[in-house]
Amino acid sequence: MSLDAREVDAAIAIDAAWADEMRAHWTALMRLAVFGDLKPGRIGALGRFRRRVLDAGEKLRALLAPRDWIPQPRERLKSALACVIGFNESLALVEADAATLEGSDADALRVVLAELRAGVNAITERANAWAALLDRPHEEDDNPSQ
């Protein structure tokens, strides 16, 4: 059974309210990373942290981007899954770096990161459903002689 384009599009549709929340959290994170009172434990750690925050923002942007330009439903689904994984990994690096930072804005930074992590956890639950949809056998697998 091949993947139905409408079913895939409905499955990977990103809730606008969730997307707005994630953008707001990332914007708050970026503001704290650049202008916040954060003290690194090692030389160069703050610069690396800022680059990782920017990378996470790029991964978030990719996750929120429409996929209607991808012609095959299976590829749209794979793209959405890859974006969730990429953002999750990028955020984990930001969180690891943030754990080493001190300063008067460190607690606010951790709150924003917790909000982003909650958002990632919510979309990861949906991504599990996407993976199950992707794992469905499709026509080419049903008839190997073609």
In a domain, 11, yes or no: yes
The predicted structure's pLDDT at residue 135: 84
Place of tokens 């953008």: 23
Between 55 and 5, where is the model more confident? 55
Q: Which two tokens stand for residue 116?
A: 């982003």
Compute φ and ψ for 138, nearest 5 degrees: -120, 175
Asked if residue 52 is part of any domain, the answer here is: yes
Exposed/middle/buried for 19, CB within 10 Å: 0-12, 13-18, 19+?
middle
pLDDT range class, residue 30, cuts 50, 70, 90: very high
pLDDT digits 0-9 by tens, 95-130: 999 999 999 999 999 999 999 999 999 999 889 888
Flag whether 143 is in a domain. Answer: no
Whole-number Å distance between alpha carbons of 21 and 115: 9
Q: At 133, which amino acid appears?
A: L
CATH number of the domain to which 66 belongs: 1.20.120
Whether residue 146 is contained in a domain is answered as no
How many separate domains does the chain show? 1
CA dist., res. 139 & res. 4, Å (int): 12
- For residue 24, tell me if it sits in a domain: yes
Residue 142 domain-assigned? no
Give the range of the structural domain holding residue 18, as residue numbers without chain letter: 5-137
User: For residue range 55-65, what is the model confidence (pLDDT) as tens digits?
Assistant: 999 999 999 99
pLDDT at 138: 59
Q: Which two tokens stand for residue 140?
A: 């080419």
145 found inside a domain: no
> Which tokens hold the place of 20?
């707005």
How far is the CA of 127 from the CAs of 21, 97, 99, 130, in angstroms? Answer: 18, 26, 27, 5
> Tokens in use for 27?
């914007």
Query: Looking at the domain assignment, is residue 26 inside a domain?
Result: yes
For 37-60, what is the mean pLDDT? 94
- Average confidence (pLDDT) over 30-40: 96
Mean pLDDT over residues 60-87, rounded? 94
